[in-house]
Every structure is written in structure tokens, then in C-alpha cells.
Amino acid sequence: MNIILLGPPGAGKGTQAGILVQQRGMTQLSTGDMLREAKTSGTEMGKRVAEVMDKGELVTDEIVIGLIREKLEAGSDGGFIFDGFPRTLTQADALAELLAEVGQTLDHVIAMEVNDEILVGRIVNRAKEAAAAGQPVRADDNEESLKVRLTEYYKKTSPLIGYYHAKGQLRWVPGLGEIDEVAGGIAKILD
């Protein structure tokens, strides 16, 4: 089973993906993780990634699709969770083509529904608690940065909501409940 988790920064996609990896043996394909891994891999694709990233440039969709192709071809018993990809309609089309080429399907697109004000408050509080406990805090986990990240997310990603809704693949799950509640909502969709 292959799924996409959609949701704004801080909605809990990473947490829920981790649960799916543990409980269902799925493989999480996080674009950021794949790029960091490729950069140090020494493969031909890795060298391309390193060259682009070392120049401070954005990695092209072609390279990201190439990395995803490598992972899909390597296989996963439990299927894949696409986290942070696709972000645009062009990427969604490229992913659909790639899945068709490798004989796989996209089974569900799960959008984590959140209230932005509550989300921002939750992340800012979490950052304050982490700082008070001497734990590392993301530099962009402050109200102003979060609002910018949310605006960017909605500008780029809202077309995906319509895209996958039109294909009959979109499912919504409330994203601001307790971790177990959200996981239960996702499990209902997948079962």
C-alpha cells in the first residue's frame, strides 16, 4: 500500500509516519532524508545531489523522482509513505507516472486537517518547553516563521487537495487530536 501524508508544517506527519513504519512495516520516503542520504552515498545520483546542494541550489524534481524511483525499485514489504512529496501538481503528475512505470499504485492521500491558530500555538509552546528543558529547538519554530511556512504550504499544496479529491483518493483525518486518536483515524482509512 502506498500513501501520501499531506498537512502543514507541524501537523504531525512525521509522528504518524513513524507509527505506520512501526505498526505496518511501511517505508517512509521523506524528501529531506532521502536528499541527505543521497548526498553522502557516493552513487551517481548522490554526486548530482551533492553538487546541487553544495551550490545552495534547489534540487530539481527530476532528481527527487530519480531518488524515489531507486527506493520504489528496491521495494518495501509494507508499502511507502510519501512525506513532503509531492508538493506541486507537476510533482503529483510525475509521481503518478513513476508509480505506473514501476507497476505500483497510490492507494490513499491522507490530509491532516488542522486549525492554523491552534497549530501555531502548539508548536510555539512545544518549542518553549523544549528550550526550558535544554533540548534543541528548530530555529524556525516561532510564530512569525511558522506563519510564513504555513502560507507557503497553502500556496503550493492546496491545488493537490483538489487534484487528489478529483481522483477519489483524498481522505481527511483530524490532525490536532492526541497522537493515538490521529493514528486511529489513519488506521480506519487504511483498513
pLDDT at 65: 92
Whole-prediction pTM: 0.83
Question: Which one is catalytic: 138, 155, 171, 188?
Answer: 138
pLDDT at 170: 96
Question: Which one is catalytic: 149, 155, 156, 167?
Answer: 149
Question: Which one is catalytic: 87, 122, 128, 171?
Answer: 87
Question: pLDDT below 70 — which residues of the chain?
Answer: none
**Is-contact 45 74, C-beta < 8 A?**
no
pLDDT at 157: 83
The DSSP call for residue 61 is: H
pLDDT at 48: 87
